[in-house]
Structure 1
Amino acid sequence: MTPDARNMTDLFYGAINKHDTGELLRHFHPGAVLVTPVGVAEGAAEIAWLYEHIFVAFPDLTFTPWHQMLPGDPVFTEWTMNGTHTGPLWLPDGDTLEGTGRRITVRGCAAYALEDGLIVTHRVYFDQLELYAQLGCELSPGRS
C-alpha cells in the first residue's frame, strides 16, 4: 500500500472510531458514492446521514482494520466492527430495529476507489445474516 493510501485509511478509520462525521467527510470526494449492504448513499449529505445513523444505533461502534492492500486501485481493507446496539437501526426493507442492548462483532471488508487522495467510491461488504443473528433477529423465509 502506498504511504498516501495507508495514511488515508488510518485517518478514515480514526474518524469513524471517533464518530466524527465532519472529519470523515473530508476523506470523500464531493460526488462520492457509498455502497453498503443496507443501501447506497450519493454525495456528502447522504453519506453523512448514513454514518450518523450507524453512530446512533451503535454509540460505541469501532472498526479495527487488520489487513490492507493496494496492488493498484482500488484500496482494500479487511476489518472487524464491534459495538453495542442501543439505538434504532434502519433495515434494508425500510423498517427499524429498536436497540437490543446486544454486542456485535462482525467481520467485513471495504474497497475504495481514490481520486487525488479522496474516496470517490466506497464499497462495504459484510455478512448481514451474521449481524442480524447477533442482534437476535430470526430468519423468516419469504413467500413466493
Structure 2
Amino acid sequence: MSVEENIKLVNRGDKAIKDRDFKTIESLYAEDAIAIMSGSPEPIKGNKVIAEISRQYLESFPDSHIENELEIGQDSWVCVAGTWNGTNTGPLTMPDGTSIAATNKRVKIPMCTLFNVKDGKIIEQRDYFDMMTFMDQLGLSKP
C-alpha cells in the first residue's frame, strides 16, 4: 500500500472511533496486532482486545474526541499528532486492571500515535501521551 492509502486506513479508524463502530475498529487491525500504550505494563495483543480497550475508554470518556493536527507517513508507518479531549463520566479501568470511579473531570492532553500498516491492516500501534498530566487532570495523581 502507498503512504496515502495507509493514511486513509488510519483515518477510517478515526471515523470508526467517532462512530463508536467497534467492529470496524477490530477489522482494521491484523489478528495478531499489538498496541503499546503509555501507562500499560505490557503490549495489548490482538485486534479483538484492541477494539475492546477502545470500547472501555469510550465508555469512560463518552464525549472523547481527538483533534488531529498532523498526519504524516513514511513507508509503512503513519504518525498522527493531536490533542485528546474528554470528560471522565464512566468507570476507568487502569492498566493494572483496577477500576476507578468516574471523576467527572475533563482532560485535554497532547498525544502522538504511530501506526505500522502491512497488507492493508494495522499491525502495530504506539500511543504516546503524558500519563502524569492525564492523571493530574483527573485529580488522581498522588502528591
CA contact (8 A) 2:26 2:48 kept: no
Which residue type is aligned with residue 126 of structure 1? Answer: F
Q: Aligned partners of 1:69 and 1:63: how far apart in 2?
A: 16
Q: Percent of pairs identical after alignment?
A: 25
Once residues 75 and 47 of structure 2 are traced to their aligned partners in structure 1, the CA distance between those partners, rounded to angstroms, is 25
Output the CA distance in 2 between the equivalents of 1:121 and 1:27: 11
> Is 1:7 matched with 2:25?
no
2:75 to 66, 69, 72: 72
List alignment gaps of at least 5 residues for structure 1. none
Q: Tell me which residue corresponds to 1:19.
A: 20
- For 1:41-120, list aligned pairs within 5 A: 41-120=44-123
Amino acid of the structure 1 residue aligned with 2:32:
G
Aligned residue in 2 for 1:129: 132
Task: Please list the CA deviations of residues 2-54 of structure 1 after superposition, one character each: whole Å capped at 9, or x if unmatched.
Answer: 32022112211111122211111121111111111233221122112211110
- TM-superposition CA deviations, 1:97-127 (whole Å, max 9, x none): 2111111111111111110121001111110
**Matches of 2:18 and 2:82, distance apart in 1:** 12
Quick one: which amino acid aligns to residue 72 of structure 1? D
**Cα contact 2:17–2:25 (8 A) shared by 1:** yes
User: How far, CA to CA, are the matches of 2:92 and 2:58 in structure 1?
Assistant: 10
Give the superposed CA RMSD: 1.6
Which residue identity lines up with residue 102 of structure 1 in the other structure?
Answer: K
- Number of residue equivalences: 140
Partner in structure 1 of residue 33 of structure 2: 32
Q: Which runs of 5+ in 2 are unaligned?
A: none
Q: Mean alpha-carbon deviation: is it higher for 12-21 or for 88-97?
A: 88-97
* Matched residue SS, 1:136: coil
Counterpart contact for 2:68–2:80, Cα < 8 Å: yes
TM-score by length of 2: 0.89
Residue identity matched to 2:4: P
